[in-house]
Structure 1
Amino acid sequence: MVTLYHWDLPQPLEDQGGWLNETLIVPAFAEYAAFAFEAFGDRVKLWLTLNEPWVQAVMGYGNGGNAPRVVGSGITDYLSGLNQLKAHAEAWHVYNEQFRPTQAGQCAITLDVVWMEPKTQLALDIEAAERSLQFKLGWFAHPIFSLEGDYPASMKEAVARHSAEEGYPESRLPEMGEEWRLRILGTSDFFGLNHYTTSLVEHSVWPGTGTSFDRDQDTTQSADPAWPESSLGWLKVVPWGFRKALNWIKSEYGDVPVWITENGYADLGELQDLDRISFYRAYIDEVLKAVVLDGCNVVGYTAWSILDNFEWTQGYRYFLHLN
């Protein structure tokens, strides 16, 4: 399984706008994908176009947390997200039309999900958790895997409402358009899924009138202090969220085959991998329950990661590899 893009955009493309420049990035990505398919497709039978486009959009082109550190939350994140969907679709069509007949492989996208658990059983919090899932996973999954395509209805409604309240003449969520809706719909041969942790979600009206991706959701996320922590503060060990996430995908998108493309635990490099062993045992057990008891169509699992890796802004301070 080979991933074409994991946030490593060449600087000359970023200098021209990167994922905000549709006329540049969409054809450039399709051309790059075609080159990779032609060069390696005789040996590679499972392709992923993009890894975690949500992170690239929100953290790379929204809040400035990741490279290229563009700050424009609530505007540029949505634009870069749409351009990633378009680029993915074009790459998939290139594979489907030019290479699948002779190479007989599969081409897909991999999306990340934090399971969103309502903090209470109040209706507002239950609705908030569902809304957070749509902003997190549905943003990119719904255009591809749903029957009708386009963004999730709740996401469109929320962004349009906040945009109007903030005085914008139209929604800050860019229109996909009918041609692109149809072009993007169905462009994945399986559902690539990355999952690590769970959040508690409650309804929350953000103060003020500032534009932001977080404010558009009207939610606040937190963690149960009883959940065990890894060395990465955000990665709480909550195995039961995995089963719920897989069932949500089945409920939303039907019997789509799911490849789990990332799942793992961070530590400080201890030689004895006992906590990691416990993590994998508990999480894989939840996957087994989802398959055997719930009928989820999980077709493969890959751990993150067999080797140490550069963990973005965290560098080499934390370790997700198997010892």
Structure 2
Amino acid sequence: MNEVSTKKQLPTKSDRHKLFGSVDPGPRTKPEEKSEMVDLQNTKKDFLFELDAVGISNVKHPVSIQSGIAPNKQSTIGTFYFASTISQDSKGTNMSRFTEQLQSYSQNEFEVNIPTLKKFVYELHTRLNQRDAELSVSFPWFFERKAPYTGQSGMNHAEAWMDVRYDQDTGYDITVGLTGKVTTLCPCSKEISEYSAHNQRGNLTMEVKLDETFDDSKVDWKEVLLEAAESNASARIHPVLKRPDEKMVTEQAFENPRFVEDMVRLVAADLYEMEFVEKFYVECVNEESIHLHDAVASITYDKMSDK
């Protein structure tokens, strides 16, 4: 006995597209050559206000970075922001110019460092025909961390970022930052308890404005900021800990209790002593282990105000 076929008889792909809303192309009356097209963004009129920034953000692109801690050269993903101010008599900017320049820098490996980013924003302000240009890039940075007793190693990571701005009147403005994680142990808990003390994971954010003489080929600012955070904490965080390591880390945390207020002041003191730092912001957010809320403290300090 022959079986009856139940296979659907579908319309052609073209008919299916029409079924779901596609229509035939209409008449083409506007020019197709760029030189003949209207460029609305280059219109010159009085547009009421100057704009602080116009550009693009959340641009992901492969980059490479140098590190003072192994692995010394890393491939990572940069998340970019590009912008410039727009004068009152300009309608807008040509967004494609940002990504065109990014692509031109990526023909070879795009190594993210201060000289390269300074060159990038200078060329960008020229390409945009504006008085300034700004680039920000953030990226995960990985670094090897050895356990304190056994020496077993693994990879930790922190989030780093760089912001470079060029203004034809004032020159360059360079800011770098890092968010890393540390262990903090509560001084109050240690003081009032018969034994033990609760601890938490602290998230340290540091952002510093660098002076014009800073050379990131000689000093890795990522390593410097990480050390400022970790050396002032109750204990460092490790990817691999065997029991002898865990004993050492636990005891170290107990010996170095820290409030969030303590953390930001201690880190601020280290940053204050760095000659290449002109201004800094420090924030510590503790993920409390015995509360549902977080604890937070921050400091902003401009060393130039001391002069």
Structure that is richer in helix per residue: 1
Higher strand share: 2
TM-score where L is the length of structure 2: 0.32
- Name the larger-Rg structure: 2
TM score, norm. by length of structure 1: 0.30
